[in-house]
Amino acid sequence: MTKFEIRGVRADVLIGAEEREEILKGVDLTINSGETHAIMGPNGSGKSTLAYAIAGHPKYEITAGEVLLDGENVLEMSVDERARAGLFLAMQYPVEVPGVSMSNFLRSSVTAIRGEAPKLRQFSKELQGHMKDLSIDGSFAARGVNEGFSGGEKKRHEILQLELLKPKIAVLDETDSGLDVDALKVVSEGINRAKATHEMGVMLITHYTRILNYVKPDHVHVFANGRIAESGGPELADALENEGYERFVKAGASQ
């Protein structure tokens, strides 16, 4: 049983050459394997900061607290060590890597995670199978990573990585943004498939409830002013759809 624990995390973001601003103001959250936790909140509440700080983005600095994956402090690990330990981040805006083909990138990533290079024929079969499941044209394997991809194609590629790398904990930062209904269904099916197959824990960051119609959360957390303002079950997401975030923002501002 995997346990991912965020304890009392505070974090700053670099906003100038030397100026920093505190965004996270004490976050506590525990995710167990097989659980899906939806993190919802307005723009600027700190949701993406939490994702990138956990993953080790150099722009963000965790100034207090700890992040434990099966008892190991990931804050003491380099970015690649965090990935090898089983932590995965799907970015809101996946970057392009011209000159590196998708297939080479994915095979190198799988090699780093598994500790040995998969046989080329075996990997090609595995890759094509996952691409078919995600409705990704087979020709994309030879294209540069995300180069010239649409927003939806980039998000499908993120889930392709997820299915191949089989992490313990997946942090999905607004994976639903920019997706049409068909792409949302395909991406959601990929998330559900990876979770069911690998007993993966999921932190799903989103503004809207529409993805939660396909990826059912076990727990919903409202993020406001750098903190978790309220936690509950799926019914909390329904309340947010009707009421919005205003009361949480006002309550957080008064603290």
Per-residue pLDDT at 173 exceeds 90: yes
Split at pLDDT 50, 70, 90, the class of 94 is confident
Give the C-alpha separation, 184 to 226, whole Å: 28
State residue 250 phi and psi, 5-degree precision. Answer: -65, -40
Per-residue pLDDT at 252 exceeds 60: no
Mean pLDDT on 151-171 = 94
- CATH number of the domain to which 8 belongs: 3.40.50.300
Candidates 217, 214, 211, 209; CA nearest to 239 is: 209
Count of structural domains within the chain? 1
Return the pLDDT at 95.
87
Order of all β-strands in the sheet with 87-90: 87-90, 169-173, 201-206, 36-40, 219-224, 227-232
pTM: 0.92
Per-residue pLDDT at 227 exceeds 70: yes
Return the pLDDT at 198.
84
Q: Are 72 and 61 in contact (CB under 8 A)?
A: no
Q: What is the DSSP letter of 226?
A: T
Per-residue pLDDT at 140 exceeds 80: yes
Per-residue pLDDT at 80 exceeds 70: yes
Return the pLDDT at 190.
95
Split at pLDDT 50, 70, 90, the class of 250 is low
Return the pLDDT at 19.
84
Per-residue pLDDT at 158 exceeds 90: yes
Query: What is the span of the domain harbouring residue 61?
Result: 3-253
Q: Name residues whose C-beta falls within 8 Å of residue 81's C-beta, 6 or more positions apart in sequence.
A: none
Q: Are 51 and 89 in contact (CB under 8 A)?
A: yes
Top-confidence residue, 93 or 4? 4
- Parallel/antiparallel/unpaired status of strands 36-40 and 201-206: parallel
Per-residue pLDDT at 254 exceeds 60: no
Return the pLDDT at 1.
87
Residues in the chain: 255
With vertex at residue 248, the alpha carbon angle to CA 243 and CA 250, rounded to the nearest 5 degrees, is: 110
Return the pLDDT at 253.
52
Q: Are 228 and 29 in contact (CB under 8 A)?
A: yes
